[in-house]
Chain A
Amino acid sequence: MDPGKRPQTDVGFFKELEAWPQERIRGLIRKATSQDVTRAFERERCSPEDLAALLSPPAASRLEEMARLAQALTRRHFGRTMGLYVPLYLSNVCTADCTYCGYAARSGSRGARRTLTRAEIRAECEVLAGHGFQSVLLLCGDAPKTAPVNYLAEAVALARRYFVSVSVEVYALDEADYRRLVALGLEGVTLYMETYHRETYSQVHLRGKKRDFAYRLGAIERAGRAGARRLSIGALLGLADWRLDGFWTALHARYLQKECWQSAIAVSFPRLRNVPRRHALRHPLSDRELVQLMLALRLFLPEVGFNLSTRERPSLRDRLIPLGVTMMSAGSSTRPGGYAHYGEETLAQFEIEDRRSPAEVAQAIRRAGYDPVWKDFDRAFDEAPT
């Protein structure tokens, strides 16, 4: 851990996480019965015990009932609307070494490493704004030297000229750094814990500051305290037992609702699919399990947004629209410069499954009976105080 930094292990969600070791959760899941599932269905507010029942095998045979409840809860809070956003990769340079990631230094993946210049960022923004996007997510690898906070600040300020809503998904920052980005108009911060399972976490994260579990775990609440309005979390599904990571993710979301009460909380469901050869996917997740996870979390977290990326194939994405998803990306590229400049020679983080254009995705959303929403924020929110 960085000396001079406040220890992160006795504060925040870390402390709460310690009260939920895997044995305790596994025990609850193991003894859950179909009656417990019924009770969870009937609750106005689900408890953590109810959540365990919803994630348990007895709930797996009741997905249709769960789906109906999840759909009603989602519609009540979010209506029949679907937010649209697009990722913009700033850099694929990375000093961390995460075994599952295509950007990792030792992943064996080929392809050029690039960090976009200001002109390149502008060109990417122009292409994406031209598709109608008003909400963008800026991403980079774990490379605080190549893409330092100054660089991120410039990118946020640039992107703000093209989009009403700008979010980042970058390496974990200090609160002051988040505050600086928020002052420039940053609306949201996405930061996946990857896995809340500590042993797995240290097995798959081999290098760099990212090895500090507590610092990463505390990042999203630092962003919330710094004033970010949207906070998105998630676990990479496939790294550890999805029931455990799902449970911890849900607790984290509920914790954030209390701790960062002015921020909208969202959960993403990134399922690992194509991983570098050196990483053996130990806990692959079936479609059915992914659906059970999403439904269980919806019942536990009725007001939380659910994000779904183009990691999933079109046929599944379309089916998931009415099951609780509230935000979707579309027309994505995971290589820096992938929209305006660079092709296959540039290293991508992972392969996209849904290659439809933004307009085609919007059409699919309408076909499912939902209104695609491009704009859900306004510049007037964060201009300098009057």
Chain B
Amino acid sequence: MIKDPLIIAGRSFRSRLMVGTGKFPSAEALRAALQSSRAEIVTVALRRVDLSQPQVDSILSVLNPAEHLILPNTSGARTADEAVRLARMARAMGLIPWVKLELTPEPKYLLPDPVETLKAAEMLIKEGFVVLPYIQADPVLAKRLEEIGTATVMPLGAPIGSNRGVRTRDMIRIIIEQSKVPVVVDAGLGAPSHAAEAMELGADAVLVNTALADAQDHAAMAKAFALAVEAGRMAYRSGLGQMRETAAASSPLTGFLE
């Protein structure tokens, strides 16, 4: 029995830290980061990996299907059709029918296209995929996706690779408040404190990539993130969520009743 598990599409996970596999300098660096992150959900870009030769691919060769849920992502797709084709191809090649939907039509900031994302999610859910969409921190879009049956929503904290932290804090807070599916803060988390902040806000999990890939010591940074995610979760569960931004020490409006 896992205490306080993260449950996505009926599956339980101990770790609330998901890890992306891009940008690492070597297979060894990725392996070191994965090991000390203790992440269970690990995402790979389908455009980047060679599913026909997993044993020589510098990413796939590191992943262990017994330890990791290998979550294929559609990064680089510009339209719903492209994303759907990628997802089908991954399933046909034997990956689990889960997909992290990334529809990022502009290569500069890699921001998600909400229209195509919604469309692709609908198509993939009909085909039986478990869909985890990467989205702008848009509370209405999050609800629309939840309604059509996505397994999570994955709003961005800041643009991918920017290391800027939870810049969309106010909207993330609303998404968390409203959501019935797990909320995974994805992208922009550059420091463990950012990850802790997202977890303190009540996010169910976070996804980190660039900050680990770009570290001097990949293993140590991955561990720092893992600890921060745990600390943030613990703080949230300990009632931090109920704290108000401004303290109300006296009762200027209702004090006369006492």
Chain A residues in the interface with B (C-beta under 8 A): 75-81, 134, 229, 257, 261-265, 303, 366, 369-371, 373-383, 385-386
Chain B residues in the interface with A (C-beta under 8 A): 22-27, 46-50, 58, 76-78, 81-82, 84-86, 88-89, 105-109, 161-163, 210, 213-214
For A366, the closest partner residue in chain B by CB is: B26
A375 touches B50 (CB 8 A): yes
CA distance A369 to B82 in the complex (A): 33
**Majority SS at the chain A contact face:** loop
For B82, the closest partner residue in chain A by CB is: A381
Known contacts A79-B22, A257-B108, A386-B85; 12 additional CB pairs below 8 A are A76-B214, A80-B24, A81-B22, A81-B23, A261-B105, A262-B106, A265-B107, A366-B26, A371-B25, A380-B46, A380-B88, A386-B84
CA distance A369 to B27 in the complex (A): 11
**Majority SS at the chain B contact face:** loop
19 cross-chain CB contacts under 8 A: A75-B214, A76-B163, A76-B210, A77-B161, A79-B22, A79-B25, A79-B213, A80-B23, A80-B24, A80-B25, A229-B78, A262-B78, A264-B107, A371-B25, A371-B58, A374-B50, A375-B48, A378-B89, A381-B76
A79 touches B76 (CB 8 A): no
Chain A contacts for B24, CB-based, 8 A: 79-81, 371
CA distance A75 to B105 in the complex (A): 21
Q: How far is the CB of A133 from chain B (nearest CB, A)?
A: 12
Identify A381's interface contact among B26, B49, B86, CB under 8 A. Answer: B86
Chain A contacts for B108, CB-based, 8 A: 257, 261, 303
Chain A contacts for B26, CB-based, 8 A: 366, 369, 371
B23 touches A380 (CB 8 A): no
CA distance A79 to B85 in the complex (A): 26
Q: How far is the CB of A381 from chain B (nearest CB, A)?
A: 5
Known contacts A80-B213, A375-B47; is-contact A381 B77 (Cβ 8 Å): yes
Identify B85's interface contact among A81, A265, A370, A383, CB under 8 A. Answer: A383
CA distance A75 to B213 in the complex (A): 9
Chain B contacts for A261, CB-based, 8 A: 105-106, 108
Chain B contacts for A376, CB-based, 8 A: 47-48
Q: How far is the CB of A118 from chain B (nearest CB, A)?
A: 25
For A76, the closest partner residue in chain B by CB is: B161
| Most chain A beta-carbon neighbours within 10 Å: one of B76, B85, B163 | B85
For B106, the closest partner residue in chain A by CB is: A261
CA distance A275 to B26 in the complex (A): 39
Chain A contacts for B48, CB-based, 8 A: 373, 375-376
Known contacts A261-B108, A303-B107, A371-B26; is-contact A380 B85 (Cβ 8 Å): yes
CA distance A224 to B18 in the complex (A): 35
For A75, the closest partner residue in chain B by CB is: B214
For A262, the closest partner residue in chain B by CB is: B105
B106 touches A380 (CB 8 A): no
